[in-house]
Chain A
């Protein structure tokens, strides 16, 4: 008994060391900075905190970040689902190439993304000049922010829906079609309910990413207070001008919003798992 227990303990020692090393690194790298920031953000007290985020510039920046992220999510969910659908279901020339290039936004630096969009749609480009004549301004204005967000979050919904479509049993769709449902009705009543969770997952990840996006947005939209200054741009401005409490308050709101989205996603995932188990 004694010997067995000590042997087990001896065997457990490397495992404990491995776990200790991993958790220590995670604690120092991730947990400590987040706790330190939350601590510092809360220090001025609730009244000062509230004043810092309701100050007109901060408030506008937060509102702009939320609105642009919502518009992006809506457009991204529709186009992303359609793209995944076309890639998995249909045969067309260049399909493999398109599939490989979907992840490009994950590989391209955000600053380069911004420059790409400026080069194509900016005021000095052919397209930009044509659009300007029609009274349209994309770059250095709010539509540019949405465009940049759509670029950087392009793969999320596609890559979330794609494996589900791939694994989907098509018997139900075929049954619906046999029973006389048109392709649109079949999609709406049979396919969409299956895809819904994955569309939601991809959209939540995209939304969370969009809330924090900086590099591409700042290149595309510039830093115009009350027009194109999103929350991350505002935070950077406050850091630069030495208003750390203001920067911390807006940061805390941004982080909380992003975490909330991911926690809700996590909770929905758990519920899905429990439902599957029962």
Chain B
């Protein structure tokens, strides 16, 4: 009756496949494009991909370099830009560390423990995916804003959450809660408990078992989840925008700086910062692809 004891899920079942394994492909396409119909279909798919993803990316690069290297370098050297990037990286660092620890803990709890309400909790973990970033920001204002009981209490003690740094940290953390849990759960489930129990029987403590048995088996999954989390943190806009308020000279993240640049007719800075963010996300994507091959390799060895 337990779904976990069932053999590998049949493919017809509706399920959300974690991103790390959803991109697997057979080493070679099974068929070459032998007929005109197939060639046409391939061409249509590639044209769509190019028009939607590839060419807009190229257009951004072109626009950023519109006046050559020097204005680009000058735009990036502005102290405001540097501060914005330091801010983005700092927020990403905090949110990623916290949510990675939480993600490992929660995945272990959800996969290894049986308790009342487990299915519900499993659904709640995914909730931030269903919440608009703007609504997420509004939630934090309602909960921690100066007019709320908690926010009022904190403010009376000189601790401001909303329209300040702690609010931005909370917003970034909220939107990235599910990533690591979602990538780890299926890996932990497939791994099974035998190795852990063996280590435990041989006298290893819980921490030792986790460190030398569980963690090495899930590390690539953790890395994949971390990559997704970092990407989302660096790109978060709506939630951080709402909680950071509209104060002139407020603490900005890179994405806020970009939006401000466009609004205030200072597009050079916006395009320059966008280029840096796009390059960062491209690197993260390359990392994801490498990790995916690692994970595929690990699965083929184990079975």
A125 CA / B140 CA spacing, docked (Å): 39
240-264 of chain A: CB within 8 A of chain B: 240, 247-248, 251, 254-255, 258-259, 261-262
B234 close to A (CB within 8 Å): yes
Query: Does B121 contact A26, Cβ atoms closer than 8 Å?
Result: yes
Query: Does A269 contact B132, Cβ atoms closer than 8 Å?
Result: no
In the complex, what residue of chain A is closest to B285 when comparing beta carbons?
A107
Contacts of A218 in B (CB 8 A): 259
A88 CA / B29 CA spacing, docked (Å): 6
Contacts of A99 in B (CB 8 A): 23, 25
Query: Does B135 contact A212, Cβ atoms closer than 8 Å?
Result: yes
Q: Which of B54, B113, B289 contacts A19 (CB 8 A)?
A: B113
Q: Which of B19, B115, B173 contacts A29 (CB 8 A)?
A: B173
A71 close to B (CB within 8 Å): no
Query: Does B3 contact A36, Cβ atoms closer than 8 Å?
Result: no
Query: Does B134 contact A88, Cβ atoms closer than 8 Å?
Result: no
Question: In the assembled complex, how far is the CB of residue A259 from the closest CB belonging to chain B, in whole angstroms?
Answer: 6
Query: Does B139 contact A33, Cβ atoms closer than 8 Å?
Result: yes
Query: Does A255 contact B135, Cβ atoms closer than 8 Å?
Result: yes
A95 close to B (CB within 8 Å): yes
Query: Does A214 contact B62, Cβ atoms closer than 8 Å?
Result: no
Q: Which of B19, B59, B128, B262 contacts A106 (CB 8 A)?
A: B19
Contacts of B128 in A (CB 8 A): 30
Q: Among A1-9, A50-58, A129-137, A160-168, which stretch is in contact with chain B?
A: A160-168
Contacts of B132 in A (CB 8 A): 211-214, 231-232, 235, 251, 254-255, 258
B198 close to A (CB within 8 Å): no
Q: Among B35-43, B188-196, B211-219, which stretch is in contact with chain A?
A: B35-43
Q: A115-B271, A211-B132 are in contact. Are A235 and B14 (CB under 8 A)?
A: no
A276 CA / B131 CA spacing, docked (Å): 31
A90 CA / B139 CA spacing, docked (Å): 47
Query: Does B13 contact A272, Cβ atoms closer than 8 Å?
Result: yes
Query: Does B32 contact A104, Cβ atoms closer than 8 Å?
Result: no
Contacts of B148 in A (CB 8 A): 36
Query: Does B31 contact A159, Cβ atoms closer than 8 Å?
Result: no
A150 CA / B30 CA spacing, docked (Å): 29
Contacts of B232 in A (CB 8 A): 106
16 A-B residue pairs with Cβ-Cβ distance under 8 Å, sorted by A, are A21-B105, A25-B102, A37-B135, A82-B44, A90-B42, A95-B29, A104-B53, A107-B235, A111-B235, A119-B62, A200-B14, A235-B134, A251-B134, A251-B135, A251-B138, A273-B3
Known: A113-B56, A251-B134, A262-B130. 4 other contacts (CB 8 A): A214-B132, A215-B235, A232-B134, A235-B138
Interface residues of A, Cβ cutoff 8 Å to B = 14-15, 18-19, 21-23, 25-26, 29-34, 36-37, 40, 79, 82-83, 85-92, 94-96, 98-113, 115-117, 119-121, 125, 147, 150-151, 154-155, 159-160, 162-164, 166-168, 183, 194, 197-198, 200-201, 205, 208-209, 211-215, 218-219, 231-233, 235-236, 239-240, 247-248, 251, 254-255, 258-259, 261-262, 265-266, 268-269, 272-273, 276-277
